[in-house]
């Protein structure tokens, strides 16, 4: 894929990182899947408190972040919500050698918000009547062919034989947090998000968790980007994959790969 001109990259960095902060010494920019926002903000604060240096997370869907990295966006670390987008960067030789590691685990859940019936109860299985539960509303999901949460959700619905019945009732959002907001605001009665997203918003409730065998394992790989590799980046990456960050991720409901 051809790289954009230098001026375009500078403009992109200014938009993403609020000026030149990402280029200052002592700052490590982390491109992180949108579902990591609450936990990563806390990890970044802990890192600054311990080291005096800044970890600057930039959140979006993993697909969007991977494409920006391919186009030369200035970042040092990438945490994806699925292995596929990290594989793509690996194939393009954009990752620092031997830095890739599986970091976190998650689950996907069916949630309801203010737009759903207050007494609605659903058990997810091949007999689930999602269309009936939606009434005239839509099922909020992240982009089902690009964003990991949407990919996992579509895979689960397909495995259970539910996708064809509900496909034309799906409201697709740019990332999983945007799908969560559709449900939390009442714009969509039901949605499919990560368990950690549902736990982060008190205005939604979990109806059920999708069976683990209905979709590929939800694994978040992390890696240092080759162009951003440095001793400083290695220190930040060590913190991100270390005990303090691990405790934060666990507190936010993530599983830690390897446990």
Residue 176 assigned as binding residue: yes
Residue 47 assigned as binding residue: no
Do 229 and 105 form a contact (C-beta atoms < 8 A)? no
Residues in CB range of 106: below 8 A, 6 or more apart: 35, 81, 194, 195, 196, 218, 220, 253, 254, 255
Q: How far apart are CA 22 and CA 218, in angstroms?
A: 29
Residues in CB range of 172: below 8 A, 6 or more apart: 141, 142, 143, 144, 150, 179
| Model pLDDT, residue 3 | 43
| Model pLDDT, residue 24 | 59
Strand segments (E) across 73-204? 77-79, 101-106, 108-112, 139-142, 170-173, 190-194
Residue 30 assigned as binding residue: no
Give strand pairing partners of 194.
108
pLDDT tens digits for range 168-202? 999 999 999 999 999 999 999 999 999 999 999 99
* pLDDT < 70 positions in the chain: 1-25
Residue 220 assigned as binding residue: no
CA-based nearest residue to 245, from 25, 7, 55, 29? 55
What's this model's pTM, rounded to 2 decimal places?
0.85
Alpha-carbon torsion angle 254, 40, 9, 54, nearest 10 = -150
Strand segments (E) across 42-153? 54-60, 77-79, 101-106, 108-112, 139-142
pLDDT tens digits for range 47-78? 999 999 999 999 999 999 999 999 999 999 99
Domains of the chain: 6-105+219-256 (3.40.190.10), 108-209 (3.40.190.10)
Residue 62 assigned as binding residue: yes
């Amino acid at each position: 894929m051809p790289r954009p001109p230098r001026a375009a990259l500078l403009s992109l960095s200014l938009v993403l990182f609020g000026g030149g902060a990402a280029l200052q010494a002592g700052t490590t920019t982390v491109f992180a899947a949108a579902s990591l926002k609450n936990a990563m903000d806390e990890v970044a604060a802990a890192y600054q408190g311990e080291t005096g240096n800044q970890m600057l997370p930039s959140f979006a869907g993993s697909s969007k972040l991977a494409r920006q990295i391919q186009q030369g966006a200035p970042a040092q670390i990438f945490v994806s919500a699925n292995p596929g987008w990290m594989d793509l960067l690996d194939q393009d030789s954009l990752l620092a050698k031997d830095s890739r590691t599986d970091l976190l685990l998650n689950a996907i859940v069916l949630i309801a918000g203010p737009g759903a019936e207050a007494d609605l109860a659903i058990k997810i299985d091949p007999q689930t009547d999602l269309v009936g539960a939606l009434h005239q509303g839509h099922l909020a999901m992240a982009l089902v062919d690009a964003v990991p949460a949407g990919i996992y959700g579509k895979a689960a619905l397909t495995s259970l034989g539910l996708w064809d019945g509900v496909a034309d009732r799906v409201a697709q959002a740019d990332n999983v947090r945007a799908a969560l907001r559709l449900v939390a605001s009442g714009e969509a009665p039901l949605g499919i998000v990560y368990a950690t997203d549902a736990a982060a918003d008190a205005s939604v409730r979990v109806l059920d968790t999708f069976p683990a065998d209905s979709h590929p394992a939800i694994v978040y790989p992390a890696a240092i980007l080759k162009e951003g590799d440095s001793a400083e980046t290695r220190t930040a990456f060590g913190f991100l994959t270390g005990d303090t960050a691990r405790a934060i991720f666990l507190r936010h409901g993530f599983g830690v790969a390897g446990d």
